[in-house]
Amino acid sequence: MSLPEAVRGALRRTLAERREEYLARLTDLVARDTRVLDHGVGGGREAAGQEYLEELLTRMGARVEREPLEEEAIREGMRLHGEGNPGHDLTDRWNLSALFPGGNGPSLLFDGHVDTMPPDGWTRDPLTPSVEGGRLYGLGACDMKGGLMAACMAVKLLKDTGIPLPGDVKILSVADEEGGGNGTLCALMRGHRAEGALVCEPTSGALTVAHMGFLFFRVTVSGVSLHSGEKWKGVNAIEKAVLLMEALRDLEHRWLLEHRRPLLPPPNINVGVIEGGTAGSTVPDRCSFTLCLHYLPGMDRDEVVREVEEALMRRSAGDAWLADHPPRWEITQEGRPFEMDRNHPFVEILRSAAADALGQEVPVVGSPAGNDARLLRNIGGMPTAILGPGPLENCHMPDEWLPVEEYLGCILAYATLILEWGGRTE
């Protein structure tokens, strides 16, 4: 369905009148320090943001609940669904669930994470948000407090305009997403569901219906240390690690030829961290490297892991030292791929609502970066898509910023979606 012109006009007028108020709510949230520590393993400070949202959403009339993250639920998610990242410090880390009761139309769930990565390399105070040249600067403005607050303000826009909700609207503000999605996993293990789900991650207003799966590996190699003047008597662990990295590069090249999927790039393996050695004059006796592997829908996760192990062991078998001292490896974080039928009614209605609100064609795309859409779709069984303000490339970058007009546009797009999806009678 398409909204009557009178309704569209009323929403736009209210948005214009309230834009500074809606922007202020976002800057207030950005000013809260909600960073994770060591990708969530060392804990997180999400409570500062959750407390702010709890007060805001309660004032808006939602039924709000705090839901602690629980190790038992994470391990049960691993057992049942192959999802979850256990062993994180969950002290004072909780999801916030806000339900806005509506009419009898289809229900809608907005999912957003309140946690951010720690700031690194910033030239300005990351927790003092500022608007310059149409951009809101601040930690988490793009990833993804902008999308999360846009969902909250979409409900407020409807209320401020005097338009009732046609169906129930639920907003999940989750913790520990940067740690691999434990927050949304715990919410799903508690039974949260709706008839449609939108992840508000930054997509620059594009509609994302697929993303890659990801696996983080840490590989450790041993050697024999001594003075480099007698290098031949030792074993250089860094050089042995390079052999293994070359083997993984060969595996990546083979995957480039074998695997394709519409809307997504080919699978890839990136070595992002290498640690080893103490001095140029010392043969290193240990080296470890950490990699992130992205794989496609249709690639079996266990087969991907097996191929990585085989590549490491096959190269080790051809080296005299590694054959007797094989590397150790472990998976430190992971998430499955996500894919949604582009022709599903939820996707079509979302695309129509976004195009109507933004006044432009909305492309349907895939994303190389994983997010909680996989959990909502694969575990929750809900029609799911991703659309939010801000460019993906701004995530995790110094001096992160969000286009203010994209934020406001998504408020209108989400409000339109609530009405069009909730008003669906088919």
Nearest to 160 by CA among 424, 411, 417: 411
Calpha distance 231→183 (Å, rounded): 49
Cβ atoms < 10 Å from Cβ of 165? 19
Residue 109 phi, psi dihedral angles, 5° rounding: -120, 130
Cα dist. 85→74, 167, 306, 334 in Å? 7, 34, 20, 7
Nearest to 396 by CA among 371, 365, 376: 371
20 part of the active site: no
Bond into 189 cis (ω within 30): no
111 part of the active site: no
Name the packing angle between helices 301-317 and 237-258 (round to 10°).
Answer: 130
Residue 113 phi, psi dihedral angles, 5° rounding: -105, 140
- Among residues 54, 67, 176, 177, the one annotated as catalytic is 177
- Residue 363 contacts residue 207 (beta carbons within 8 Å): yes
| DSSP state for residue 145 in the 8-state scheme | I
Cβ atoms < 10 Å from Cβ of 410? 29
- Among residues 46, 54, 67, 115, the one annotated as catalytic is 115
Task: Concatenate the DSSP letters of all residues of 248-310 into one string.
Answer: HHHHHHHHHHH---TTSPPPEEEEEEEEE-S-TTB--SEEEEEEEEEE-TTS-HHHHHHHHHH
- Residue 355 contacts residue 335 (beta carbons within 8 Å): no
Q: Which residues are catalytic?
A: 115, 177
